[in-house]
Structure 1
Amino acid sequence: MNPIEKLMTEHQNILRGLDLLERAAAQLERGDQVSPAFFNGMVDFIREYADKYHHAKEESILFVRMSEVGFSPEMGPVAVMLHEHIKGRGYVSELAKAGEKYAAGDRTAIPDIVKNAMAYAELLRAHIHKEDMILYPMAENALGEIGISLMRPDFDNVEHEKAGVEEKYVNMLDKLEREMIGTAS
C-alpha cells in the first residue's frame, strides 16, 4: 500500500468515528442518555488518531512534498486543507470542554456537545471528500509514482514512532460500534 492509499484507509477509520460521534450527538439531542466516557473516548480518538497520527502525516510529509513541487501552503488546495485542520481542532477543543462539563453532571453542556460534534463531523466529511477526490489525485499527478514512493520511509517512521496507535483506535471503534448497536432501540 503506498502512502496515499494508507491515508485513504485511515480516512475510512475516521469516517467510522464520525458516524459514531454523530449518532451519539443525535441521541443526546433527543434526550437519550449517552455515557460521558463516550465523548471523552471520541475526543481522544480525534486528537490521537485523526490529528496526531493521520493529519501529522499529511502536514509534515505529504503537504511538504507538495510544496516542494509548487503547491503553496499559504494559498490553494494545501492551504485550504491546513486551514480545515486548524478549524477542526477548534471544534474538538470546544467538544472536549463541553464533554468535561457533561461528565461533571452539567446537562447544560449538551447543546455545545451537539453543536461542536455535528460541526466537526460535517467539516471532516467534506474535508475527507476533498482530499480523496481532489487533493490526493493532484498529489499523485504532481509527485508521480516515484515521488509518492519516496514518502514511504517518512510514513514508516511515523508508524514506528506511533506503534500501536492504529490498532488501539480501530479496536476502540469496534468496541464503541458494538456498544452503540447494543443501545439502539
Structure 2
Amino acid sequence: MQHVIKEELGLCPVNSFLAEHRLIERVIPVIEGEVRCIQAEHHLHFPVLDDLLEFLRSYVQDYHQQREEIILFELLSKKQLATDHRTKLQEFIDSHTYERQLFENLLAAKKAYDEGAPDVLEELCKGFQALIEFYPLHLHNEDRYFWLFGKTYLSHFDNMAILRKFYQAEISSVYTLDIIPRIALYI
C-alpha cells in the first residue's frame, strides 16, 4: 500500500524521467525553428543556437541521460530480465550512444563554423534534423515500453535508492541546470 501511495504522490522515479522527457519534447519545436532560420537566412542565430547546444549538452547529455544510464540502466542490467526486456534495454543503451554521436557531430560542425567554414550550415541542419527525427520516437519508446517493463523489476527499496541517487545527482548538477530558465524563454 505504501508503494502505491508513493507512486500516486509522484515519488516514483519514472515520473521524474517522464517530466524530463516532456521538457525535451518542448524544445524540439525550437530546434525546428532554428533549422528553418538557418536554411532561410544562411547564418546562425548565436544566442539561440548556443542555448540549444548548451541544453543538449548539459541537460540532455550530462543530466538526463547520465541519470538514466548510471542509475537506472545499471540497476536494471543487474536484474534477471526476460530476454526480450534485456534486448530492449540494450537497444536503449545503443540509442543513447547514437544520440551522443549526433550531438558530437553538431558540436564539430559548430566549431568548424566558428573557425570560418560557413559551408557547414547544411551539416548543422542535417544534424539538428536527425535529432528532431530521433527524439520523438526515442522518448515515446522509453515512455511506452521501457518504463512499463522496467518498473516491474524495481522493488520499493530500488525505487527509494534511485530517488536518493536522483537527489544526489540534482545537488551536484545545480550549476549544470541553469540552462533551463534560458531555454524556457524559447518554448
Q: Normalising to structure 2: TM-score of the pair?
A: 0.83
Give the equivalent residue in structure 2 for 1:45. Answer: 55
1:7 aligned to 2:27? no
Distance in structure 2 (CA, Å) of the matches to 1:144 and 1:15: 29
Q: Which runs of 5+ in 1 are unaligned?
A: 178-185
RMSD, matched Cα: 2.1
Give the equivalent residue in structure 2 for 1:181. Answer: none
Cα deviations across residues 50-105 of structure 1 (Å, max 9, x unaligned)?
A: 01100011101111121122248xx5111111111111111111111222333455
Q: Given the alignment, which residue of 139, 142, 150 partners 2:150?
A: 139
Give the equivalent residue in structure 2 for 1:76. Answer: 87
Structure with the larger RCO, 1 or 2 (CA within 8 Å, 6+ apart): 2
Shift, 1:150, TM fit: 3.0
Distance in structure 2 (CA, Å) of the matches to 1:14 and 1:8: 10
Q: Which amino acid aligns with 2:183?
A: L
Asked if the contact 2:42–2:121 (Cα under 8 Å) also holds between the matched residues in 1, the reply is no
How many positions carry a matched residue from both structures? 175
Q: Which runs of 5+ in 2 are unaligned?
A: 1-9
Cα deviations across residues 125-166 of structure 1 (Å, max 9, x unaligned)?
A: 211111011101111122144432331111111111112443
Asked if the contact 1:84–1:123 (Cα under 8 Å) also holds between the matched residues in 2, the reply is no
Give the equivalent residue in structure 1 for 2:6. Answer: none
- Structure 1 segments of 4+ aligned residues over 6 angstroms from their partners: none
Asked if the contact 1:22–1:121 (Cα under 8 Å) also holds between the matched residues in 2, the reply is yes
Distance in structure 2 (CA, Å) of the matches to 1:92 and 1:137: 28
Cα deviations across residues 38-60 of structure 1 (Å, max 9, x unaligned)?
A: 22221211111001100011101
Percentage identity across paired residues of the two chains: 19
Q: Normalising to structure 1: TM-score of the pair?
A: 0.84
